[in-house]
Structure 1
Amino acid sequence: MPNVTTRHLSMTLLAGVAAVAALCAAPLANATGDPAVDPPHCTTADLQGVQAGVDASASAYLFTHPDLNGFMSTLGDLSREQVATRVDGYMATHPQEDAEMNGIRQPLVDMKNRCGTAVSP
């Protein structure tokens, strides 16, 4: 895989994961260290571990789904809004891939919910 394609794929993957990670990081930054106030396993290290697993799973999934991988590789030069619109359109016509990618991201969503942030649409 050429470096440009690898870089675009990495940036696309990171953009999606970064959005969820940013939502998780807010409560982590305000942790008091008191287990009665802060849920367990909600540290920055916990977040990074979950994020690494999601990143690895997403990478493996994209390598085994060349059509989705190719589509995602075309998004590198677009704005966040354009990426969101195009991804929404693609996933609407590929519900199986949408469900599987949502399943891959689910551990980050679960962590966000457990650590006290509201789920955003």
Structure 2
Amino acid sequence: MAEINVTPMVDVMLVLLIIFMVAAPMLSSGMKVELPQAKSAQPSDQQSPIVLTIGADKKVTLGPDEIPRSELVARIKAMMGAESRVVHVRGDRTASYGDIVAVLDDLALNGITRLSLIANKGTAEAAQP
């Protein structure tokens, strides 16, 4: 009576399983691509955005007006009204990352979640100090 020994096959399958478990997270990282340019592209939201600027000196401006952070959420909600508009957040390059995140967190905790971070068009080499 001949029986098939499956032990070597199970060993090979376990080794392959371990290899794929280790390799899968490495494969899921994004790849660099150059996105095409579209000259006729239109923004999907035709309403004017609310522009919030955070300076290197921690000063916050809403549009052209400088405002204290304590009034920020109330002023943005007043500008939005019942509409769901996008808030464009511009942070100075030398501003502390923590200051920008603190402002974003204040907005998100108060229900303002449609946020966009704004950056200038340029190369990564130009952004290095």
Instruction: State the TM-score, normalized to the length of structure 1.
Output: 0.24
Q: Which one has a larger percent helix, Structure 1 or Structure 2?
A: 1
Larger Rg: 2
Higher relative CO (Cα under 8 Å, sequence separation at least 6) belongs to 1
Q: Which one has a larger percent strand, Structure 1 or Structure 2?
A: 2
